[in-house]
Amino acid sequence: MGKLKFGLIGCGRIAQRHAEHISNVGELKAVCDIDLRKAQLLGEKYKANIYSDIDELLEHEKDIDVISICTPNGLHAEHTIKSLKAGFHVLCEKPMAISVLDAGKMIDAAEKANKRLFIVKQNRFNPPVAAVKNLIDNNKLGRIYSVHLSCFWNRNFEYYTNSDWKGTKELDGGTLFTQFSHFIDLLFYLIGDVQEVYSFNENFTHKDIIEFEDTGVAILKFYNGALGTVNYTVNSYKKNMEGSITIFGEKGTVKIGGQYLNELEYQNIEGVKIEGLPEGNPPNNYGQYVGSMSNHSEVYKNVVNVLENGGIIATNGFEGLKTVEIIDKIYRSAAKLNGKS
Ligand SMILES: NC(=O)c1ccc[n+]([C@@H]2O[C@H](COP(=O)([O-])OP(=O)(O)OC[C@H]3O[C@@H](n4cnc5c(N)ncnc54)[C@H](O)[C@@H]3O)[C@@H](O)[C@H]2O)c1
């Protein structure tokens, strides 16, 4: 098989990284953005065909294997379903969707088209995350008693006012979707599915800036009996402080921390010591703010491995749906409890 050919929908910030990694593993054949200038800038750099309308790209570019979706959250479902129906495999940025219904429709569309659906969850490849997943899969922590997630980041007013979709209910969906869906994904990935949630949230400092909360707390009960807490905010004073997950198991305690789940901060495990973890990649740096670890290279390696060597999808549509469901449960509980005095 020759090099895989890719199309890219949405040519904003994260698309630059996608284009770079696509060019390392395959060929970027076509790009599309409703802002033609952005499509031109990226298309010219990679010698790709340029479109401002997804329907035209899907109609004319029959040679493509995979469409990468890098548009705002609220458009992922529409763009993914169109691409699958047109006969392409899809790699969709996180969050998979901002409604459970939409995520279900995306899985259905992939099944009906008999095409593969990949969701970008690059933090799963962070060296400490991979090491802890390996421990849990091999029962080295024993029964998991509880898990505690801390997401303490800073997103200033300019972060939202410089974007026409971030902070909107319709296209962003909520702080858990844009900022912290990677972290929620790790709760599912490492611990399991969530049965019940109680949650409060509040918009403390972004009242006229965003249409949803900037801070929230949640308590969780998992189907396997584990208990959990989620503490998240974009009000960490002036800068990102921490993104961490602490797990208390029968045979060990571990904390993955740093700002982006990129350091193994604490370990005390029966008969095991995690050592010699590779450095990992630096986080995505967008100038005025810093995002998650930049492991998109691993995401693209996985796409190639699945489509060319029969490998297993690193994060499939079903797993993407689970993140959306857990976030949906947190928001539903907060909507119910917020009004109660
Ligand atoms: N995996 C990660 O760590 C990570 C990091 C950043 C962003 N993201 C995700 O990537 C997506 C894009 O985020 P971003 O920061 O690059 O946003 P962005 O605003 O910089 O880029 C989005 C682009 O989509 C274009 N667009 C909007 N509607 C379109 C349409 N109908 N057809 C074609 N193009 C359209 C916009 O013009 C814009 O250029 C979001 O879903 C975000 O959550 C993921």
Confirm whether 311 is domain-assigned.
no
Q: Which two tokens stand for residue 201?
A: 């949230």
Do 106 and 130 have their domain in common?
A: no
141 shares a domain with 271: yes
102 and 161 in a single domain? The answer is no
User: What SS3 class is residue 156?
Assistant: coil
Residues lining ligand 1, Cβ inside 6 A: 9-15, 32-35, 38, 54, 70-73, 75, 93-94, 120, 122, 163, 178, 284, 291-292
136 CA distance to ligand 1 centroid (A)?
A: 34
Taking alpha carbons only, the member of 183, 159, 166 closest to residue 72 is: 166
Mean per-residue pLDDT for 235-259? 95
In this structure, are residues 318 and 165 in contact, taking their beta carbons and an 8 Å threshold? no
Q: What is the mean pLDDT of the chain?
A: 95
For residues 214 and 129, state if they share a domain.
yes
In a domain, 54, yes or no: yes
Cis peptide leading into residue 127 (ω within 30°): no
Asked if the structure places residue 114 within a domain, the reply is yes
User: Does residue 56 share a domain with residue 129?
Assistant: no
pLDDT tens, 124-135? 999 999 999 999
Residue of 314, 293, 284 lying closest to 17 (CA atoms): 284
- 142 to each of 130, 171, 236, how far by Cα in Å? 17, 41, 34
49-74 pLDDT per residue, tens:
999 999 999 999 999 999 999 999 99
Q: Mark whether 211 and 270 lie in a shared domain.
A: yes
* Structure confidence at residue 72 (pLDDT): 98
Give dist(CA 287, CA 213) in Å, integer.
Answer: 24
- How many Å apart are CA 20 and CA 262, to the nearest integer? 22
Q: How far is CA 166 from CA 15, 51, 175, 223, 266, in A?
A: 16, 24, 9, 33, 34
Alpha carbons 88 and 65: distance in angstroms, whole number: 6
Query: CA-to-CA distance for 14 and 69, rounded, in angstroms?
Result: 10
Verify that 159 and 112 share a domain, yes or no. no
Considering the domain architecture, whether residues 213 and 281 belong to the same structural domain is answered as yes
Burial code (b: 16+ CB inside 10 Å, e: under 16) for 228-244 equals bebebbbbeeeebebbb
What integer pLDDT is reported at residue 282 of this predicted model?
A: 64
Q: Can you tell me the distance from the alpha carbon of 230 to that of 219, in angstroms, rounded to the nearest whole number? A: 6
Asked which of 122, 156, 183 is the last residue of a domain, the reply is 122
Same domain, 88 and 149: no
Domain's final residue, options 122, 157, 172: 122
User: 133 and 247 in contact (C-beta within 8 Å)?
Assistant: no
Q: Residue 76 Cα, ligand 1 centroid: separation in angstroms?
A: 9
CB atoms under 10 Å from CB of 67, counted, come to 27
Structure letter (DSSP) for residue 250: T
**Domain assignment of residue 308, yes or no:** no
Verify that 84 and 233 share a domain, yes or no: no
Distance between CA atoms of residues 278 and 280, nearest Å = 6
Q: Is residue 131 part of a domain?
A: yes
CA atoms of 257 and 186, how far apart (whole Å): 13
Residues 103, 183 within the same domain? no
- How many domains, the chain? 2
Q: Do 190 and 100 share a structural domain?
A: no
The predicted-structure confidence for 139-176, as pLDDT tens digits, reads as follows 999 999 999 999 999 999 999 999 999 999 999 999 99
User: Of 21, 32, 34, which is best to mutate to test ligand 1, by the most ligand atoms within 8 angstroms of its C-beta?
Assistant: 34
Q: Are 306 and 313 in contact (CB under 8 A)?
A: yes
Residue nearest to atom 33 of ligand 1 (CA): 33
> Which of the four pLDDT bands, split at 50, 70 and 90, describes residue 312?
very high
Residue 295, pLDDT above cutoff 70: yes
Tell me the CA–centroid distance for residue 310 and ligand 1, in Å.
29
- CATH code where residue 181 lies: 3.30.360.10
Torsional sign, CA 210, 73, 20, 183? positive
Specify if 23 maps to a domain.
Answer: yes
Q: Which domain holds residue 45?
A: 4-122
- Structural domain ending residue among the three candidates 88, 107, 122: 122
Q: Assign 278 a pLDDT band (cuts: 50, 70, 90).
A: confident
What pLDDT, on the 0 to 100 scale, is given for residue 262? 87
Closest protein CA for atom 31 of ligand 1: 34
| CA 166 to ligand 1: nearest atom | 19
CATH of the domain at 74: 3.40.50.720
